[in-house]
Every structure is written in C-alpha cells, then in structure tokens.
Amino acid sequence: MPRVAVILGTRPEIIKLAGVIDGLGQDAVVIHTGQHYDDALSQVFLDSLGLPKPQHQLHLGALSRAEQIGRGTAEVATRLDQIAPDAVIVQGDTNSALAGALAASCTGYPLIHVEAGLRSYDRAMPEEHNRVLVDHLADLLAAPTQTAVANLGREGIAGNHVLCSGNTVIEAVGRQLPNAARRRALLATLGLRPARYVLATIHRPENTDDPSVLARILDELAALPMPVLLPLHPRTLAAASQAGLAAKLGRLQVIEPVDGADFLALTAESALVVSDSGGVQEEVTVLGLPLVVVRRSTERPEALAHFATLVGPEGITRAAMAYLVAGEPLRHRLAATPSPYGDGTASQTIVREVRNRYCSRAVELAG
C-alpha cells in the first residue's frame, strides 16, 4: 500500500493541504509539527475542515526558529524512517516546511513542495530563506503560477521537476466559505453590517516587534471611518500588552482568533481587508475584495495587479480610504476579475502527479 507523508504545522498549511490530504485518502500519513501550538490557530482548523487527527504529533511550538528547524528535522526524520513513505509533501515557507524538507533529504525520500517558486527577494524575511532552501531540496515543485515557474527557472530549476499546478487556495476557499445566511448570522453576533466594516489582521514580526510600528498601525486603523474588526493573533496581543498599547486596541473591535470558515465569512462580508498575511493576499482574489497589504515586500505579486496595494504602516489610512471611496463599482469590478491562482483543480493535479510519479511502484508491489 502506498504511503505519502504530509508534514504540516501551521494554519495556512492545514488549510492549503486539506484538499491534498483528502485526495490521498488512506495513503496520507500526517505529521503535525506543533509549530502552531495554540488550539485557536491549529486544532480548530483541523476540526473545521473535517480532517482526521494527525497520526504523528510533535511539539515544536514553544521553541525558537533555530530549534524548530533543528529539532524538527531530527524528529521528522525519525518519523519518516518509521513510516517509510513513497514520498514526502511539504507546503509553503514555514519552519515546519523546511524541517520536513531537510528530514526528507536526510532520509532519502522524494520531496514534493506545494506552493513552490514564491519569491519576495527580501532577505530580511525568514520565510524567504525557508522557501528557497525547500525549493532547492525538492524533487517535484508544484508552482502555483507562471510567475513562480519563472522564478524557479532563474535559479536553474526547470523541466520535468516543475509543475504549474495552480494554488490550492482556490479549492480551500470554496471548501470553507459559509453560505450567505451563515455569514450574515455571524455578523449579527458581532453587531456588524455587510460592507460596513474593515477586517484587519496583523501578526508579522516586522509589524509587531517594534512598539512604535505597532502603535502606528493601530492608530492608522483607528482613523478609518467605519468599525475595524481585529481578530487578535497571540503574537500581536503579547506585543501590544508588553508595549502598553491596550488603549489603542480599545479603539478597535478586537475579537479572539476565529476558525478558517468564520474568517472567510468575515472577509467576504467586509468592505475591505487590511493585513500582513500571505494567505489573505490569495484569498481576496477568490472573494473579489480589495486588500491593503501592510508589508515592505511580498512574494505574491500577482495579487497586486488588481486586488491589493502594498504599503508601510504610515500608508494604511490613505490606501484604505482610496478603496472605500471607490465603493461598489470597485467591488463589482473585482468580483468579475478571475483569480490569478488557477481554476480550483490544484489539489487534484498534485495528487495525480504524486501517485503517478512515486506511488505506482508501491501499488504494483501490493498487487
């Protein structure tokens, strides 16, 4: 019987690999690294997606980046030798993905990188180092767009090793997005009206580690002329508490982190989104919404063509107001603009390639 080890550890990995895990069915053996150890950022997403409990659970969440990668590599390698998979799948650019890739390399199992080829060309981003290393270790690279394929080509990675699969975010959104009635019911519990609030998420170190930067972001959000809903990431909460920014948080509508379905519901019903998340940059292209990206660089330039604007902390209010002034005509135009991330068949494409390339021999032996 073929076995494919799927290594994940964070909310984005869980969401984006759900379709791949489903497609592999009983052939998938999931290793959860525990990089996101808060239930609000991990277990709740497994539950909401109807995914089975991971067969292997590690506990790397409370460790430093170096420890997550180093210890993660050793512990995942041990699990891989126990499983003896036909192939190993990692996704994205997390510490879990790099640890899984290094473990696969050390143990000699073929490695598939889902969402390969993303580049910000910002060496200050730890994720940039992770994604480059994983790409150069991978045997099969599932690139979401032709831009990502071209990025890989410039680094000498081309040919049969590279598959332009589309991005699994398309089917992930379709899988999770609640219907209109459920979305409106959620808004009612929060006292919000459709298209009459801004949804914000802030969690990246570049925006939370410096108290002055975080204070500026909170001030810019509070200056907007409608309610700002802020599901508060644990890192942001800790940073704001340590910096004495509770009063600034009090000017926003702060809620605890929500599961994937509720977050998509809140996104779909908002007037616009302000975020430093990579995944949100993709999700808004599926939902047809404008986004203010609060980052110095992005590895997802495709979203900037129609859906998003890249700004620093001091540009949030100005960029958001431009979108709000554009109003309904902008929303109609974005709703009619196809997502640059594919047609919703990425998971199927990846599963088919993995089975054809790495699992056919196992099936023959089993037969």
As a whole number of angstroms, the distance between CA 320 and CA 278 comes to 18
Catalytic residue among 203, 233, 306, 332: 203
Residue 50: partners with Cβ closer than 8 Å, 6 or more residues away: none
Catalytic residue at 32?
Answer: no
Q: What does residue 326 show for φ and ψ, rounded to 5 degrees?
A: -65, -30
Q: H-helix or E-strand containing 198?
A: strand 198-201
Angle at 198 between CA 192 and CA 200, to 5 degrees: 115
Report long-range pairs for 181-186 (Cβ below 8 Å, ≥24 apart): 182/265, 183/265, 183/268, 183/269, 184/269, 186/262, 186/265, 186/266
As a whole number of angstroms, the distance between CA 45 and CA 215 comes to 30
Residue 247: partners with Cβ closer than 8 Å, 6 or more residues away: none
Q: Which residues are catalytic?
A: 203
